[in-house]
Amino acid sequence: MPKKKTVRKNALKRNMAKRSAKKPSSHTSSPHDRALRQHLLYLLNESGAHLTFDAGMRDWPVQLAGAKVANFPHTAWMLLEHLRIAQWDVLEFSRNSKHVSPAWPEGYWPASEAPPSEQAWKASIAAFKKDLLAMGKMVADPKVDLFVKLPWGDGQTVLREALLLADHNAHHLGQLVMLRKSIGI
């Protein structure tokens, strides 16, 4: 009799192994995983306790993109470009093992206080939105394991990078709100 139980246990183990090999990994089907992805997407794209990018940049006159305010170190152009560059860097690091980040800190800020043209202003806004959408797609993709360490990093995961991005964007969007109020827009 004990031999039958062992045979049955082994058969059960083999069947479970076959089933799990056919199924996607558990992180792709877990209700907790789906909920986490929804929370991350909300944090990246919605408002909640944070300002959305569109709300922060809405109707900002390009003529005031380089306006300086007393006791405030950045212009709207400087903040926009910093947001764009940092977000691009986080996105590329998260998906490209060959990505090389800009030099810190100078590579993360524009050289000028004002955009060189209205076209540059609009292009920066469009690039920010495009990269935010790409990060959202990565976070939403159930094939992307949010918890696996990126092999080219030193402990980073897609989850950590998405949280970093949301936090960084919220911080500088808050600065844009203060700048907007100080300028009187």
For 156-176, how does the pLDDT look when each residue is reduced to its tens digit (9 = 90+)?
Answer: 999 999 999 999 999 999 999
Q: Token pair of 83, please?
A: 């947001």
The pLDDT score that the predictor gives to residue 8 is 42
Which of 101, 87, 96, 70 has its CA nearest to residue 178?
70
CATH number listed for the domain at residues 26-183? 1.20.120
Domain boundaries, the chain: 26-183
Any idea of the CA torsion for 37, 38, 43, 48, to the nearest 10 degrees? -160
Q: Which residues, in sequence order, are bridge partners of residue 157? A: 149
- Map residue 122 onto helix, strand or coil: helix
* Average pLDDT per 10 consecutive residues for the chain, totaling 185 residues: 44 39 48 92 81 90 96 96 98 97 96 97 98 97 96 96 95 94 93
pLDDT tens track for 96-117: 999 999 999 999 999 999 999 9
Taking the model in full, what pTM does it have? 0.82
The pLDDT score that the predictor gives to residue 12 is 39
The pLDDT score that the predictor gives to residue 28 is 54
